[in-house]
Amino acid sequence: MSAVDSNAGIAHSTKDAIAGSTIALATRGLSRSFGSLVVARDIELNLPVGARYALIGPNGAGKTTLINLMTGMLPPNQGQIILGGEDITALSPQARVKRGLARTFQINSLFAHLNPLEAVTLAVCERRGISSRFWQNVAVNKDAIEEAYEILAKLKLGDVAYQTTRELPYGRQRLLEIALALATKPKVLLLDEPAAGVPQEESGDIFEVVAGLSNDLTLLFIEHDMHVVFRFATHIIVLVGGTVFTEGTPAEISADPGVREVYLGKRHHG
């Protein structure tokens, strides 16, 4: 089979993978190992446009590794990543961002001296290719500033737009990480424990804001708090030992005795 035929087959199977849905992001046979240590084995995922999917699993299951593979931070040994029907496996992380695939990073040190409006405006300017002129003439970047403020307002950060980032409560800093990712105008957003380190009573607030984002935006988030997962995810993927153990609706996952066994440590997968 030629590369053209192969790619056509990928796009066709990806679009048909979930009846009635257009697939925003998919993986095919995605595998990665470090010597004899297998961290991802033959992972097949389909994320429909507008999905709110959760990725769960015991510690060491390979959840962050999978996000690193999807975003190009880690190359696979085998398999493919398909974004909007296009094979992006060979693209750099930066090129994937430009195609619409973004993830969150902790920004405490990176933008600690800026306020949220400055930080998000800089990210908007970077996307527009005018970041080198950001500090020279703020008036020229009026549109970028307005776009940045709209993003902050969506995430309920408008009231702290002018506070120094390092002085923000930690939960607000985590929301700012999401704002920076949204500044790239992603089609798919990967959130690696967006509420980690945030007091439990505040973590729901973060997900309330995330849940209110555009229905055109596809979300995949890693989260350990099962209350949050079952409240906000429409579909749950259970990863164990670098493989997909099972997936389904929250009701299906909740009723699956195998998932309970995995979390209680009664079942082991290499």
CA distances from 12 to 5, 7, 74 (A): 10, 9, 26
- pTM (2 d.p.): 0.85
Tell me the average pLDDT across 251-266.
Answer: 84
| Tens-digit pLDDT profile for residues 221-257 | 999 888 899 999 999 999 999 999 999 999 999 999 9
Domain ranges of the chain: 52-73+92-264
| Tens-digit pLDDT profile for residues 65-107 | 999 999 999 999 999 999 999 999 999 999 999 999 999 876 6
The token duo for 99 is 């195609």
| % of the chain at pLDDT higher than 70 | 84
Is 163 in contact with 116 (CB distance < 8 Å)?
Answer: yes
Which of 109-123, 143-157, 177-191 is predicted with the least confidence, judged by mean pLDDT?
A: 109-123
Task: Classify 52-73+92-264 by CATH class.
Answer: alpha beta
- DSSP string for the chain: --HHHHHHHHHHHHHHSSTT--EEEEEEEEEEEETTEEEEEEEEEEEETT-EEEEE-STTSSHHHHHHHHHTSS--SEEEEEETTEE-TTS-HHHHHHHTEEE----TTTTTTS-HHHHHHHHHHHHHT-GGGTTT-GGGGHHHHHHHHHHHHHTT-GGGTTS-GGGS-HHHHHHHHHHHHHTT--SEEEEESTTTTS-HHHHHHHHHHHHTS-TTSEEEEE-S-HHHHHHH-SEEEEEETTEEEEEE-HHHHHT-HHHHHHHHT-----
